[in-house]
Amino acid sequence: MSSQANEPLIRDIVQEVLGRLGRSAPSGAGKAGTPAAAPSPACDRPGPTHAPASRPGRYGVFGDANEACAAAHAAYRQLSEKGVAGRNTVVRIIKEICCAKSKEWGRLELDETKIGRLDHKIEKLEGLRAVPGVEFLQPYGLSGDHGITLEECAPFGVIGAVTPSTHSIPTVACNIISMVAAGNSVVFNAHPGAAKCALAAVRVFNESIHRELGIENLACLIDPPTLDSFQALAKNEHVKLLCVTGGPGVVKAAMASGKRAVCAGPGNPPVLVDGTSCLERAARQVILGAAYDNNVLCIGEKEVFVLDRVFDAFLAALEKNGACRLSGAQVERLTQAAFTFLPGHGGGCAEPVVNRALIGKDVPVLAQAAGINAPAGAPLLFAETEANHPFVQEEQMMPFLPVVRVRSVEEGIEGARIAERGYKHSAMIHSHDVANMTAMAKALETTLFVKNGSCLAGLGNGGEGYPNFSIATTTGEGICNPRTFTRMRRCVMVDKLRIF
Ligand code: NAD
């Protein structure tokens, strides 16, 4: 082997030895122009990793899951040396970059995934401003005859995260904000169909964090992401917690991993319109939510149940507000394009499977599949369907809204409960009847329940509250925030320290 080929190896060994001695590497040992990381007393303690220290200049991008986890673990140690101020700096950096690059990254993500709408991709990145940071972590104090006790929100360490194709950069960014605000580092296994944009974002985040704090790999990403790299991530000894955002497959895989997992799973949010509130407003809000990013939001309105006596008036209000009505024959054509039907188990009913090629596509594309040309600028297609229609029962993520006629509030709530499929994700009601609101909330037990607003109000856009792109429905943590990524630790001072 030439001496040149040996150079990175020697540099790695020098870094490792100096790291253990608590000194930073001489500048010549690192990559030219790369500031050496601040010396960290925590590095004196040998970590549990046997993977070699990562070479500088990776800025979070690793081909190997175990190498990524080792680098994220070293970064976690460095972050703890930077204190709360360091975490605040990272949160500020992520938010600033997402705002500054919203247009560029919105386009980048849309070009890669071909899912959703550019204006909403940009809005989602800019909306990250409102994701809570370190201020969300409040310790709990006790003071009494026996002294003082403090319960603190402590970090886990390295978190393994999986992100969806529907909002790749926004989920990566808001996961970093919540996880780092809580003092953790993170390794991502992004969706393969949305991994290039996630990689670009992670690299820019790390470059900036490195410039300001000297930490290079706080948010790592495995390139390319595969099912095997997910398994390696889940098994890695540094990874103390998983956070997965996606459909049923990844939730199942995370739950089976044996690690503690925060699972932000699938949804199929129903809406009930009982006719006791303004129909015009209900129609506008339903369009707002269901049309958003071509209905790829997991919280987005996916099907509506409307009382018979106001049914026709509600459809007219949808039309008046720009949505385009399909006939029965057009819905049938769209259904054949949007689903394939697998033979049911034991000769039972055929099982519809969503055609991924139509997920998040624009209204004109869907309209073509239905056999019509939609009016220019129509935000949404809709039609009357039966309650058992595949568009009602499956999480279809397309800007087509099935509307079901029901004879009573009870029938509407039961239809909504069945369509929601026990995901306990999100539901909406348009009503001024408190008893109906309560009955629906009790029957569905969803994580988000919005009254008289669009689904977006559930994430602070038109309603009170903060946003996040990971809503931990399956495992019950709710809308993720920095607290979600902490473990509670109690510190007890016996007797003498009270001031009275
Ligand atoms: P998806 O389930 O196809 O993929 C999500 C992620 O899981 C991807 O990174 C994918 O590579 C990974 N994955 C899938 N199966 C896996 C397995 N067996 N092992 C390991 N990793 C696996 O979902 P998608 O199309 O990217 O996103 C849409 C889905 O995500 C919808 O069901 C939507 O409701 C859900 N979602 C939920 C939330 C939430 O906060 N609850 C947020 C966004 C999206």
CATH code for the domain of 329? 3.40.309.10
Determine the atom of ligand 1 nearest the C-alpha atom of 268: 34
φ/ψ region of 184 (left if φ > 0, alpha if ψ in -120 to 50, else beta) reads beta
Q: Could you tell me if 261 and 280 lie in one domain?
A: no
Q: Could you tell me if 76 and 221 lie in one domain?
A: yes
> How far away, in angstroms, is 128 Cα from ligand 1 center?
20
Q: Could you tell me if 238 and 94 lie in one domain?
A: yes
Nearest alpha carbon to residue 263 among 51, 14, 474:
474
Structural domain range at position 247? 41-265+481-486
Assigned domain for 409 exists: yes
| Helices and strands (H, E) in the chain, number of each type | 15, 20
Residue located nearest, by CA, to atom 36 of ligand 1: 246
Other CB atoms within a 10 A radius of the CB of residue 167 amount to: 27
From first to last of its 500 residues, the chain has per-residue pLDDT tens of 333 434 444 444 444 433 443 333 333 333 322 333 333 333 333 334 345 567 788 999 999 999 999 999 999 999 999 999 999 999 999 999 999 999 999 999 999 999 999 999 999 999 999 999 999 999 999 999 999 999 999 999 999 999 999 999 999 999 999 999 999 999 999 999 999 999 999 999 999 999 999 999 999 999 999 999 999 999 999 999 999 999 999 999 999 999 999 999 999 999 999 999 999 999 999 999 999 999 999 999 999 999 999 999 999 999 999 999 999 999 999 999 999 998 877 667 789 999 999 999 999 999 999 999 999 999 999 999 999 999 999 999 999 999 999 999 999 999 999 999 999 999 999 999 999 999 999 999 999 999 999 999 999 999 999 999 999 999 999 999 999 999 999 999 998 777 77
- Cβ 274 under 6 angstroms from ligand 1: no
User: How much is the pLDDT for 51?
Assistant: 56
pTM for the whole structure: 0.89
The upper half-sphere exposure of residue 494, i.e. CA atoms within 13 Å in the direction of its Cβ, equals: 0
CATH code, domain carrying 236: 3.40.605.10
Assigned domain for 9 exists: no
Assigned domain for 20 exists: no
> How far away, in angstroms, is 474 Cα from ligand 1 center?
13
Structural domain count, the chain: 2
In what side-by-side order are the strands of the sheet with 270-273? Answer: 324-325, 381-384, 400-406, 303-307, 270-273, 426-430, 448-451
CA atoms of 84 and 438, how far apart (whole Å): 41
Residue located nearest, by CA, to atom 14 of ligand 1: 250
Assigned domain for 11 exists: no
- Cβ 267 under 6 angstroms from ligand 1: yes
What pLDDT digit, counting tens, does each position of 80-126 carry? 999 999 999 999 999 999 999 999 999 999 999 999 999 999 999 99
Beta-carbon contacts of 266 under 8 Å, excluding residues fewer than 6 positions away, are: 246, 247, 248, 251, 298, 395, 423, 425
User: How much is the pLDDT for 430?
Assistant: 98
Q: Could you tell me if 392 and 430 lie in one domain?
A: yes
User: How much is the pLDDT for 52?
Assistant: 57
- Cβ 216 under 6 angstroms from ligand 1: no
Q: Could you tell me if 132 and 89 lie in one domain?
A: yes
User: How much is the pLDDT for 198?
Assistant: 98
Q: Which of 162, 255, 262, 481 has most ligand 1 atoms within 8 Å of its beta carbon, as the pocket-test mutant?
A: 162
Assigned domain for 226 exists: yes
> How far away, in angstroms, is 422 Cα from ligand 1 center?
17
Q: Could you tell me if 93 and 144 lie in one domain?
A: yes
- Give the Cα-Cα-Cα angle 381, 382, 383 (nearest 5 degrees): 140
Q: Could you tell me if 255 and 307 lie in one domain?
A: no
Beta-carbon contacts of 344 under 8 Å, excluding residues fewer than 6 positions away, are: 350, 351
Q: Could you tell me if 359 and 323 lie in one domain?
A: yes
User: How much is the pLDDT for 138?
Assistant: 94
CA atoms of 330 and 374, how far apart (whole Å): 12
- What are the angstrom distances between the C-alpha of 15 and each of 31, 283, 398, 413? 12, 62, 51, 62
Determine the atom of ligand 1 nearest the C-alpha atom of 189: 9
Q: Which of 196, 231, 298 has most ligand 1 atoms within 8 Å of its beta carbon, as the pocket-test mutant?
A: 298
What burial letters (b/e) apply to 422-431, b meaning 16+ CB within 10 Å?
ebbbbbbbbb
Determine the atom of ligand 1 nearest the C-alpha atom of 480: 40
User: How much is the pLDDT for 498?
Assistant: 74
Q: Could you tell me if 211 and 316 lie in one domain?
A: no
> How far away, in angstroms, is 472 Cα from ligand 1 center?
12
> How far away, in angstroms, is 250 Cα from ligand 1 center?
6
CA atoms of 415 and 420, how far apart (whole Å): 9
CA atoms of 117 and 113, how far apart (whole Å): 11
Q: Could you tell me if 253 and 275 lie in one domain?
A: no
- Cβ 247 under 6 angstroms from ligand 1: yes
Which tokens is 476 given? 């019950």
Tokens 């969300």 — which residue? 136
- Cβ 360 under 6 angstroms from ligand 1: no
Determine the atom of ligand 1 nearest the C-alpha atom of 190: 9
Which tokens is 76 given? 């976690």
Assigned domain for 426 exists: yes
The upper half-sphere exposure of residue 472, i.e. CA atoms within 13 Å in the direction of its Cβ, equals: 23
Full DSSP string of 276-304: SS-HHHHHHHHHHHHHGGGGT-TTS--EE
- What are the angstrom distances between the C-alpha of 408 and each of 16, 401, 403, 452? 70, 21, 15, 19
Assigned domain for 18 exists: no
> How far away, in angstroms, is 158 Cα from ligand 1 center?
21
CA atoms of 227 and 55, how far apart (whole Å): 25
Determine the atom of ligand 1 nearest the C-alpha atom of 249: 15
> How far away, in angstroms, is 248 Cα from ligand 1 center?
7
User: How much is the pLDDT for 15?
Assistant: 47
Beta-carbon contacts of 472 under 8 Å, excluding residues fewer than 6 positions away, are: 243, 262, 263, 264, 447, 478, 479, 480, 484
Q: Could you tell me if 61 and 175 lie in one domain?
A: yes
- Cβ 97 under 6 angstroms from ligand 1: no
> How far away, in angstroms, is 134 Cα from ligand 1 center?
27
Determine the atom of ligand 1 nearest the C-alpha atom of 298: 34
Assigned domain for 261 exists: yes
CA atoms of 247 and 252, how far apart (whole Å): 9
- Cβ 164 under 6 angstroms from ligand 1: yes
The helix/strand/coil state of 133 is coil
The helix/strand/coil state of 366 is helix
> How far away, in angstroms, is 245 Cα from ligand 1 center?
5
- Cβ 245 under 6 angstroms from ligand 1: yes
User: How much is the pLDDT for 71?
Assistant: 98
Q: Could you tell me if 280 and 218 lie in one domain?
A: no
Q: Is the dihedral of CA 386, 391, 393, 397 positive or negative?
A: negative
Nearest-Å Rg of the Cα atoms of the chain is 25
- What are the angstrom distances between the C-alpha of 151 and each of 77, 88, 140, 142? 21, 21, 5, 8
Q: Is the dihedral of CA 38, 41, 44, 48 positive or negative?
A: negative
